[in-house]
């Protein structure tokens, strides 16, 4: 080889595989740790705050056992779902970029539309739940300040609408981040925040148990006749509250609807399925440990009167500065979690719009704006308008229905069976050609059927709770 120019020694031809993946898209950079951060951000969310209340409904026996069962089912079905990221060969097969793509490739037909409706309805509902949770935490910060000035027994009622609106404004800004792969830093910040407030809640719970000099609670949970913040528990309410607690726990573990989207950020080699299985194991193990500790310690501290939101509904009162830090961490975490959950929905709508209106400049044109030194920001007018409308809609509904535990329970019930169990099981059976009526097939179907019963019961309990709340609630008067 003859070198004609000294610069030829420095400029070597780069293989396209250094810049692009096998599907022609820019090289993915995700690892076990970034995928774990995404999952933990999605899983350890506002759901952890309701676990003490959930354990209180079913007691010392049912609470821990139920959480362990949910963690096992979630981990197992997630490993099945990981195998469906690529169609055919798990290393070199065609990629499925979204949950719906995986359904289309493996099941097809009406199931694709059913999955899409359930998945995106659940993502939409989660955005509402996170908006409510953020407002509750911000209200708690204002209330502690009020009580410090006026005395600890002052009710300090605060309207949460202004905080929901403020949270919505922040989400409108962050929602302009174009895609999931650019959210890794937000997920890591949010994951750190989730560990922070969970640890604070755990520490305060332990200190409360020490202060009480006893472990509260019973083997079977809240007993009939117990006076709780929402009234005296009747036999019928005991049943509905037990069912609702299943929905709360299911919501706390829900992330399957965005698993494929997270897996699509992972680099290869090693095979994405192997990376994702490790990330799933790490994430579910860590979250289960936190959930067991937070739920059980919270129940031990408060017993049958465990609050619906451990850090913001009057459970702990001191030290107020630590509670403020915890609630601020919750809000920061929810800012990131909102985006992790909504990005798949954003991407679906924008992809469909581009497919249907390929000639529309409003839909397809990217306007480059130099906000900071370096890479310019790509502003898309359709993205700006539609995502803003989406955030405004979730904010409005949150102001209309600010029922934290009931909303979480219903979301958990709606999403758990179809998204976490049924579709992963059915896709795995097709992907791996599991023989019909064989031992493995029967076991998978029994698991799916059992989880269906759990989801139906949880949904019923949550709907009853929402109907009960609506009887005494006035719209746009969310006094927490």
* CA separation for the pair 270, 274 (Å, rounded): 7
Q: Residue 337 in contact with residue 130, Cβ under 8 Å?
A: yes
User: 233-242, 316-325, 399-408: lowest mean pLDDT where?
Assistant: 399-408
> Other CB atoms closer than 10 Å to residue 440's CB: what's the count?
12
Number of other CB atoms surrounding residue 122 within 10 Å: 24
Q: Which fold has domain 24-347+402-470?
A: Amino acid/polyamine transporter I (1.20.1740)
CB 186 within 8 Å of CB 336: yes
pLDDT 10s digits, 220-265: 777 776 666 556 777 777 787 888 788 778 777 777 777 888 888 8
pTM above 0.95, yes or no: no
Tens of pLDDT, residues 47-101: 677 788 888 888 888 888 888 988 888 889 888 888 888 887 767 778 888 888 8
Question: Which tens digits make up the pLDDT trace of 441-462?
Answer: 999 999 999 888 888 888 887 7
Length of the chain: 480
The residue among 355, 348, 359 whose CA lies nearest residue 386 is 348
Structure tokens at 59: 């007691």
The β-bridge partners of 20 are 26
- Cα(74)–Cα(78) distance, rounded to whole angstroms? 6
The secondary structure of residue 245, as a DSSP letter, is H
Q: In percent, how much of the chain has pLDDT > 90?
A: 2
* Cβ pair 212, 202 in contact under 8 A: no
Q: Evaluate if residue 10 carries a pLDDT over 50.
A: no
Q: pLDDT tens digit string along 186-195?
A: 667 777 787 7
């Amino acid at each position: 080889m003859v070198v004609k120019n000294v610069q030829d020694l420095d400029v070597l031809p780069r293989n396209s595989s250094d810049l692009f993946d096998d599907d022609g898209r820019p090289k993915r950079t995700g690892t076990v740790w970034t995928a774990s951060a995404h999952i933990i951000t999605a899983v350890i969310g506002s759901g952890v705050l309701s676990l003490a209340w959930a354990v209180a409904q079913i007691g010392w026996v049912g609470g821990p056992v139920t959480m362990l069962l949910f963690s096992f089912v979630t981990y197992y079905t997630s490993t099945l779902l990981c195998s469906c990221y690529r169609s055919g060969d798990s290393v070199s097969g065609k990629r499925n970029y979204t949950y719906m793509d995986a359904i289309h490739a493996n099941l097809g037909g009406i199931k694709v539309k059913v999955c899409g409706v359930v998945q995106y309805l659940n993502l939409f509902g989660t955005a509402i739940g996170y908006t409510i949770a953020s407002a509750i935490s911000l209200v708690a910060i204002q209330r502690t300040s009020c009580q410090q000035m006026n005395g600890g027994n002052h009710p300090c009622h605060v309207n949460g609408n202004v905080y929901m609106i403020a949270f919505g404004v922040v989400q409108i800004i962050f929602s302009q981040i174009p895609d999931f792969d650019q959210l890794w830093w937000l997920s890591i910040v949010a994951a750190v925040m989730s560990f922070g407030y969970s640890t604070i809640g755990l520490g305060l719970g332990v200190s409360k148990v020490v202060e009480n000099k006893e472990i509260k609670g019973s083997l079977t949970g809240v007993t009939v006749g117990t006076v709780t913040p929402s009234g005296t528990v009747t036999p019928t309410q005991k049943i509905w509250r037990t069912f609702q607690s299943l929905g709360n726990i299911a919501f706390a573990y829900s992330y399957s609807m965005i698993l494929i989207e997270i897996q699509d950020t992972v680099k290869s080699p090693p095979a994405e399925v192997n990376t994702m299985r490790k990330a799933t194991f790490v994430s579910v193990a860590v979250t289960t440990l936190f959930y067991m500790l937070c739920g059980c310690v919270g129940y031990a501290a408060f017993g049958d009167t465990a609050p619906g939101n451990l850090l913001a509904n009057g459970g702990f009162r001191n030290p107020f500065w630590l509670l403020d830090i915890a609630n601020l961490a919750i809000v920061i975490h929810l800012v990131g979690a909102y985006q992790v959950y909504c990005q798949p929905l954003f991407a679906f709508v924008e992809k469909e719009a581009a497919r249907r209106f390929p000639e529309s400049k409003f839909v397809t044109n990217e306007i480059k704006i130099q906000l900071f030194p370096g890479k310019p920001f790509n502003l898309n007018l359709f993205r700006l308008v539609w995502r803003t409308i989406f955030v405004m809609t979730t904010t409005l509904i949150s102001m209309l229905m600010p029922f934290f535990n009931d909303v979480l329970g219903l979301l958990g019930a709606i999403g758990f069976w179809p998204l976490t169990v049924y579709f992963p099981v059915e896709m795995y059976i097709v992907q791996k050609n599991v023989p019909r009526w064989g031992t493995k097939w029967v076991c998978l179907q029994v698991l799916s059927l059992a989880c269906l019963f759990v989801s139906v019961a949880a949904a019923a309990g949550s709907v009853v709770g929402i109907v009960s709340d609506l009887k005494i609630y006035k719209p746009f008067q969310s006094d927490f």
